[in-house]
Amino acid sequence: MTIQTPPFQKILIANRGEIAVRIIRACKELGIRTVAIFSTSDRNALHVQMADEAVCVGPPETNSSYRNIPNIISAAEVTQSEAIHPGYGFLSENAHFAEICHSAGVVFIGPSPESISLMGDKARAKALMRETGVPVVPGSIGAVASEDEGMEIADEIGFPLIIKASAGGGGRGMRIVHAKDGFSNAFQSAQTEAYQAFGSRDVYIEKYFIGPHHVEIQILSDHDGNVIAMGERDCSVQRRHQKLLEETPSPLLTPSVRSKMSEIAIRAAKACGYVNAGTIEFLVDDKRNFYFIEMNTRIQVEHPITEQAFNYDLVKAQILIAAGRSIEDVPKSIGHTIECRINAEDPWTFTPSPGTITRMIQPGGPGVRIDSWVTTGSVISPHYDSLLSKVIVTGRNRDEAIARMKRALSEYLVEGIKTTIPLHLTILDDPDFIKGKYDTGFIEKVMAKRE
Ligand code: ADP
């Protein structure tokens, strides 16, 4: 991708935390001026200090600030921003917001509202993928209309199964059912929970895999119809279905499975007319059969491992694609990369640990990248997610990457709040992790070993 004149003069970043900082960095390298938005509790946050301009969009509650569409659009208009980058979370997968940006004459840096709403309805997305020849997790085709229909599907696919909210995300709105007698209750409560959390009662049913691997493919596509796959990320180290540590390449995949998955992911992206950066998520069993679960139509938290492994800036690519530039260079993977998510949480109970960071020293040195928004004195608010920073290390091979991550985390000093660093150090010392033998049930086993 050749950079001549800046693709935009000014971009508003509709987010906070480390991803807002990350996007500002990309804009600076492209010669683009930046506008931060902030809530009253984020007045002194790093993204506000780093941006050229900043606009307060409301009080700490996210519905009144970071999800407040009228205030954000007004901020873009007042500052004459040409484009909005939504980051992840908040409004990033809100088709209505993308549409409003278009009608306000502001470029939404992401896919079309149609692609967002199609893939945001997970039951519909799965049905489309199935039609396109993408292998999907066995289960209902589309949303399940009634409990009776759900029961028929349950009889077909057997137990355990999982009931998911069609509009769900972030690991919420999922119910695992182990036997027939638990089905009715689970179905009804899943519907109610789906409605309360996402405003839609639609649910769908899937076979529940025991100990699968979560492997996802990074996709990049432009307005000229070029679609490329940029390798995989293994995100199987999870607790309560939330990712904790990610790596690329995946220790599970073989070159032939990788290229098959990439080919299928490209097909999936083409099927929904996808433009910009996106991720196709798969569950993979021990025999390396893979099944589509969902597509994320935004930049992912874990995107830096792909960036480091390929020496390629995905956020800059998103901006250039949104400005109509085409993808020219297809990068080649050059190393092994691991990311650890450092959350403000008790490392063993995962209860949030908000408060003030009284002292912080972040790691550095060869092969270490820190995507962070905090420093000594930062206040961690209970209103927002608990992600403080991401430590991303790259080595010539997996062993070097693991040694480097242990070294980096041992340098990391955080006082005043609890973090997930001790858990990460335990994972990195685990013999199964070192052998690359882990699945989504891994953290539970790590916890059991402690008891
Ligand atoms: P969300 O979008 O809410 O994060 P996903 O569909 O991406 O939900 O699933 C999140 C995680 O839940 C997966 O990475 C996996 O660990 C687990 N999961 C989802 N579907 C299944 C399934 N059918 N069988 C086993 N585990 C699953």
Structure tokens at 120: 């945001």
- How far, in Å, is the centroid of ligand 1 from the Cα of 370? 27
- Single out the catalytic residue among 298, 325, 341, 369: 298
Domain boundaries, the chain: 10-109, 147-201, 213-450
ipTM of the complex as predicted: 0.98
3-state secondary structure of 149: helix
Distance, in Å, from the CA atom of 381 to the CA atom of 376, rounded to the nearest integer, reads: 15
3-state secondary structure of 370: strand
DSSP label at 352?
B
3-state secondary structure of 23: helix
Ligand 1 atom 22: residue of nearest CA: 208
- How far, in Å, is the centroid of ligand 1 from the Cα of 170? 9
- Asked if the model's pLDDT at residue 329 lies above 80, the reply is no
Q: Map tokens 């979370």 to a residue.
A: 89
The class level of CATH for 213-450 reads alpha beta
Distance, in Å, from the CA atom of 121 to the CA atom of 126, rounded to the nearest integer, reads: 9
Confidence band of 27 (pLDDT split at 50, 70, 90):
very high
Q: What predicted TM-score, i.e. pTM, was given to this entire model? A: 0.97
Please give the pLDDT value at position 451: 78
Q: Nearest CA to 198 among 170, 168, 175, 171?
A: 168
Q: 177-216: per-residue pLDDT in tens?
A: 999 999 999 999 999 999 999 999 999 999 999 999 999 9
Distance, in Å, from the CA atom of 372 to the CA atom of 391, rounded to the nearest integer, reads: 8
Domain 213-450 in the same topology as domain 10-109: no
Please give the pLDDT value at position 169: 84
* Cβ-proximal residues to 161 (8 Å cutoff; 6+ apart), any chain: 139, 154, 176, 177, 205, 206, 207, 208
Query: Which CATH fold would you assign to the domain 147-201?
Result: Dna Ligase; domain 1 (3.30.1490)
- How far, in Å, is the centroid of ligand 1 from the Cα of 281? 9
- Asked if the model's pLDDT at residue 111 lies above 60, the reply is yes
Substitution site in 177, 203, 214 for ligand 1 pocket (most atoms within 8 Å of beta carbon): 214
- For 60-83, b/e burial (b = at least 16 CB within 10 A) is eebeebbbbeebbbebbeebebbb
Structure tokens at 290: 């893979």
Cis previous bond, 249, omega within 30: yes
Q: Map tokens 């639609």 to a residue.
A: 202
> How confident is the prediction for the chain on average, in pLDDT?
96
Query: Which CATH fold would you assign to the domain 10-109?
Result: Rossmann fold (3.40.50)
3-state secondary structure of 159: coil
Pocket of ligand 1 (CB under 6 A): 137, 162, 168-171, 206, 208-209, 212, 214, 238, 241, 281, 283, 293-294, 440
Distance, in Å, from the CA atom of 436 to the CA atom of 234, rounded to the nearest integer, reads: 11
Distance, in Å, from the CA atom of 206 to the CA atom of 265, rounded to the nearest integer, reads: 20
The pLDDT of 241-268, averaged and rounded, is: 97
* Cβ-proximal residues to 256 (8 Å cutoff; 6+ apart), any chain: none
Ligand 1 atom with minimal separation from the 162 CA: 23
- How far, in Å, is the centroid of ligand 1 from the Cα of 55? 37
Distance, in Å, from the CA atom of 286 to the CA atom of 346, rounded to the nearest integer, reads: 32
3-state DSSP of 414-447: EECCCCCHHHHHHHHHCHHHHHCCCCCCHHHHHH
**Among this protein's residues, is 267 annotated catalytic?**
no
Q: For residue 396, count other CB atoms closer than 10 A to its CB.
A: 11
Ligand 1 atom 18: residue of nearest CA: 241
